[in-house]
């Protein structure tokens, strides 16, 4: 297990954080807003950090925007969770790994949820398998950290506001030493 999470995370956000990905905000703005929403709801430290880091897979993917354009699912949730697992345990990585499935789950359980999704999220939903069938939804909600993933997903859906104020990335990085496993 490596113990160099903070420099690697700062490097990633400084090289790719300005990326636009079809929403009104950059990856960095989206990450910070999701972290701020998690904090405002009193989420535990692991879930706050998961909210900040949930889309690192988009920044690690060589061209996530082109993947969506070409009709490919970039599987960013799996890529990101796997990359982060070198430092963090499942309390951070599982909500991230499950946050796309959580969108499919919410579409199955809440008919109005789909209508609240952004145009891009609706489009990627189709690439990601569409709403879950009943048996898939039942299996999903029994997974460890499924509820955390559902909470994260809902912050993900609204953390896309231009010029919203949020804590700095360095503030969230203070959580890392407490949560990374040496």
Stretch that binds Fe ion, among 20-28, 49-57, 121-129, 171-179 (CB under 5 A): 49-57
Nearer to Fe ion, 5 or 34 (CB): 34
CB of 138 to Fe ion, least distance (A): 25
User: Which positions ≥6 away from 2 have C-beta within 8 Å?
Assistant: 86, 87
Measured between alpha carbons, how far is 59 from 18 in angstroms, rounded to an integer? 10
Q: How many residues form the binding site for Fe ion (CB under 5 A)? A: 2
Binding mask 139-178 for Fe ion (x = CB under 5 A): -----------------x----------------------
* Of the residues 55, 74, 77, 148, which one makes contact with Fe ion according to CB under 5 A: 55
CB of 62 to Fe ion, least distance (A): 18
Site for Fe ion in 81-140 (CB under 5 A): none
For residue 140, which phi and psi values (nearest 5 degrees)? -60, -45
Q: Are 94 and 144 in contact (CB under 8 A)?
A: yes
The pair of structure tokens assigned to 111 is 């008919």
Closest residue to bound Fe ion by CB = 156
Stretch that binds Fe ion, among 50-58, 59-67, 69-77, 118-126 (CB under 5 A): 50-58
Burial of 172 (0-12, 13-18, 19+ CB in 10 A): buried
Q: Are 54 and 181 in contact (CB under 8 A)?
A: no
CB of 34 to Fe ion, least distance (A): 7
Pick from 49, 46, 27: which is nearest to 36 by CA? 49
CB of 42 to Fe ion, least distance (A): 20
Q: Are 33 and 88 in contact (CB under 8 A)?
A: no
Contact residues for Fe ion (CB under 5 A)? 55, 156
């Amino acid at each position: 297990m490596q113990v160099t999470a903070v420099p690697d995370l700062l490097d990633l956000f400084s090289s790719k954080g300005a990326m636009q990905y079809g929403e009104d905000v950059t990856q960095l703005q989206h990450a910070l807003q999701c972290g701020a929403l998690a904090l405002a709801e009193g989420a535990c430290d692991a879930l706050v950090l998961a909210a900040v880091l949930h889309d690192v897979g988009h920044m690690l993917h060589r061209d996530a925007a082109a993947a969506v354009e070409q009709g490919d699912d970039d599987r960013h949730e799996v890529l990101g969770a796997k990359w982060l697992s070198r430092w963090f345990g499942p309390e951070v990585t599982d909500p991230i790994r499950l946050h796309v499935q959580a969108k499919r789950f919410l579409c199955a359980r809440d008919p109005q949820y789909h209508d609240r999704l952004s145009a891009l999220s609706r489009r990627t939903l189709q690439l990601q398998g569409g709403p879950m069938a009943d048996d898939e939804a039942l299996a999903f909600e029994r997974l460890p950290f499924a509820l955390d993933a559902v909470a994260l997903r809902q912050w993900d859906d609204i953390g896309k506001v231009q010029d919203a104020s949020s804590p700095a990335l360095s503030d969230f990085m203070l959580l890392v030493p407490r949560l990374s496993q040496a």
